[in-house]
Structure 1
């Protein structure tokens, strides 16, 4: 019999200990504002203490042999797999995802950890030919990679388990200590991940999950000189603020996008419609890869628009815990009102509302706009909500020009059967990834993931995160030239 997962006494994991505090933060279900649980509101003093404990944790982590890192990470994955249903329910309760979406996230988290364990064995260096330089014929050597120390991970609400795993798994695989500051509205999933690692036998002080308000503990974490790297996933404004404050640290950031998808006249229309509808409304559109701008060749614009609106209107919006539900609420009513304001501004300036545009509490219906004026915010900003924008374009050149006209560049998609046009898009689109005959909303956890322009710095994806979380050390032996 599978025992239900329990949050450890509504406590946070600080320096190897589960601790509570008098001041608590309520965690509420955005669907009905019901209270799910409460977690400690950590103080700045708590974070300072945590960092001091992590200094010892970094030494412990660096000394762990690779096989032990692998064993612990795999054991954590096993624990989550055994308790998959309970983890999925928590994801669906505290966030916006439906139970089907949450179950997929839990599966991905398990995969992320297993890949992390595998990549731990592949942190390799290579030999260096020192004799390439005249006068160095008697030198030989190599480089190897070593852990950087303490990593600060600041994670968002939209993938409250797997995005935490994308930071914790590589950090432990590489031999680092890591402090996680999860989103205030979705801390329970991160605590469950910490519970899995505690159950797996991760040494104390290597991992901390500190719950609290950003204004209270965020600056301490970001500015402390003992923190050697900040791994942040979130909004552009917050990311820029972190960069200004961080000081001399490694920084990895994924800051979102307003992803474009191009649909050419030779595309499989049904496949393109189904993929882009799913890509636009997955997790209520609160997805950094979510389809926002769709550029459709003029000759198929009418047919695509009709099919897209029809499929959108078939989306089932409602109770997140029901298997038949396609889309739940946004993370809170404030966010739903923000999306509503963006749509209303566009409509007031002349955009056509083809379907949707309705809000009830934190719920906002799947919405489709056309004829969007360039002078409205929704045309350039990240919506981070269930809204898709349809644009006609003359040809591929026009579509690429429009796709590149914004300040973001995370991922893109293109639907075409023409290999030359696909390669033109690959070469000319300013993005970190391009999906051919798929929407922008596609990712596997092993691939390099990140963007250009204001979409971020560096790359995630386990192998590539490990590169960011380690440094090369050069070793050179000068040999005696005596025979």
Structure 2
């Protein structure tokens, strides 16, 4: 009897395709097969790009109800198939099922919000008779598609970060070619199934598993004038340097901090939120809590509560609905993290809990007395590891947050409204979350950072603005 493997197709022009270059995807938890797909060949890449280029005018002219209808359809179908999609996210990424379900729920909302933005995408009128020379003139300022988008997505949110490329592109009338992460392409391909059920024209979208070393063919192609990248900093900045004449947006991560001010009294709430969001997704989130700066008045009690909460979490089988912390994406990633923890300890840091590794799984870890320039503080650890340190003032906390090459989001636990506004002014980050951890993100709000955390913003309206440019129509001889 011959064993046969079901090949999951990729998508070009809304059509399912395969190649002879098979790609087997396995769980980082136990190596169990999650599914087999194919790498797109150079000929497949050329066909997808040529199709997106050819479809750019038709896609830009799609009526709002067609764009919105397609996005609503995907939202509804994701909701209907939510259990299946969540199980697939867990199978290929090792993300605990509880967090995979949360990701599907967010993607449902992301497509729903995009449908609303597609319906609101109208432009604005400007009267020009504010000066005598403009008498009888009015301007219609609209945003029009810049052209086809190349969306490059990471492994840590294999559905919702794909949604944050695809949904605003469709809403903006821009064809999109998606390159999902090689470690987690299957969820993006399932999303392709749902897109194939819509009335979007051929060429409006393609989903291509492509090895990272072959991605330059897509990045360099002038027929893809917009590149939207989420992933590591070195790769992102190299893309921007490589194609300086393209419109490039980069979401590159950070080392997010939480500040606990002396007026904050609910330390148990703060500890629970810090423990949960330092370790969620295995810590593999750009805004996972990595650094905690607590005023000395509350430091000791907070540290004890954080350690107790983190210790309760433990690790386990990501398919178990009770598991909160799963593996990292690979054993190589876990070895890197273990090396960073060992380096910090050798430099004087104390392990309050965790500090160990089992294969691809890093135990939830809390470090005290870690030097500010140790990798666990200065770099993006991307693991369930956090450092906690006392500060003598809010000024010191703000200075430590800003003494970083990253600047994505910061959480400030305070009830002082004046201090909240001061934080928003003085902290050199893309977002300040008051009364909670930096890990909060609403998918409709502008999201992104400064410094090495990237350029541009995600969030539906913000991404649509990045994928479009202003075009002005002036009408003459109009009585206002």
- Name the counterpart of 2:309: 311
User: Among residues 410, 413, 436, which one is paired with 1:412 in the alignment?
Assistant: 410
- Output one character per residue of 1:81-113: Cα deviation in whole Å (capped at 9) or x when no partner: 111100000011111311110001001101000
Structure 1 stretch 419-428 or stretch 335-344: which is displaced more? 419-428
Could you tell me how far 1:137 is from its partner in structure 2? 2.3
Please say if residues 255 and 455 of structure 1, whose CA atoms lie closer than 8 Å, have aligned partners that are also in contact.
Answer: yes
Q: CA deviation at 1:68?
A: 1.1
Query: How far, CA to CA, are the matches of 2:387 and 2:335 in structure 1?
Result: 18
Tell me the CA shift for residue 40 of structure 1: 1.0
Retained in 2: the 8 A contact 1:283–1:327? Answer: yes
In 2, are the aligned partners of 1:16 and 1:207 still within 8 Å (CA)? yes
Q: Is residue 2:139 matched to residue 1:141?
A: yes
- Structure 2 SS opposite 1:347: helix
Measured in 2, the distance between the counterparts of 1:147 and 1:423 equals 36
Of the candidates 352, 363, 372, which is equivalent to residue 374 of structure 1? 372
C-alpha distance in 1 between matches for 2:94 and 2:405: 27
Which residue is equivalent to 1:239? 236
Q: Which of 275, 281, 286 is matched with 1:277 structurally?
A: 275
Q: Is contact 1:223-1:247 (8 Å) kept?
A: no
User: How has the CA–CA distance of structure 1 residues 9 and 39 changed in structure 2, closer, same or farther, with 3 Å as cutoff?
Assistant: closer
Q: Is the 8 A contact 2:15 2:196 kept in 1?
A: no
- Residue deviations 1:295-342 (CA, integer Å, cap 9, x gap): 011121111111111111111311001111111100010100011111
**Which of 411, 425, 428 is residue 427 of structure 1 equivalent to?**
425
Secondary structure of the residue aligned to 2:313 is coil
Deviations 1:156-181 (A, max 9, x none): 00000011011101110111100000
Q: 1:127-158, CA deviations, whole angstroms, 9 ceiling, x for partnerless residues?
A: 22333344332433221121222000000000
* Residue 353 of structure 1: aligned partner: 351
Given that residues 137 and 478 in structure 2 are in contact (C-alpha distance below 8 angstroms), is that contact kept between their aligned partners in structure 1? no
Q: Distance in 2 between matches of 1:367 and 1:408?
A: 22
1:166 paired residue number: 164
| Distance in 2 between residues matched to 1:230 and 1:283, nearest whole Å | 26
Correspondence list, 1:6-155, <5 A: 9-155=7-153
Residue of structure 1 equivalent to 2:284: 286
Secondary structure of the residue aligned to 2:382 is coil
Q: Residue in 2 aligned with 1:249?
A: 246
1:222 to 216, 219, 224: 219
CA contact (8 A) 2:230 2:250 kept: yes
Which segments of structure 1 move beyond 4 Å, counting only runs of 4 or more?
A: none
Q: How far did 1:378 drift? A: 2.0
Residue of 254, 259, 262 corresponding to 2:259 = 262
Change (3 A) 1:131 1:325: same
Aligned equivalents of 1:38 and 1:323: distance in 2? 25
Query: Is contact 1:396-1:421 (8 Å) kept?
Result: no
DSSP 3-state at the match of 1:131: coil
Of 291-300 and 132-141, more deviation after overlay is shown by 132-141
Give the Cα separation in 2 of the matches to 1:303 and 1:480.
Answer: 69
> Are the equivalent residues in 2 in contact too, given 1:316–1:324 (CA < 8 A)?
no
Deviates most, 58-67 or 327-336: 58-67
Q: Which moved more, 1:414-423 or 1:142-151?
A: 414-423
* Partner residue, 1:446: 444
Q: Unaligned regions of 5+ residues in structure 2, if any?
A: none
Secondary structure of the structure 2 residue equivalent to 1:135: helix
User: Which stretch shifts more, 28-37 or 121-130?
Assistant: 121-130
Instruction: Provide the C-alpha distance between the structure 1 equivalents of 2:134 and 2:66, rounded to a whole number of angstroms.
Output: 39
CA distance in 1, matches of 2:270, 2:116: 35
8 Å Cα contact 2:68-2:171 kept in structure 1: yes
Per-residue deviation, 1:44: 2.9
Shift of 1:200: 2.8
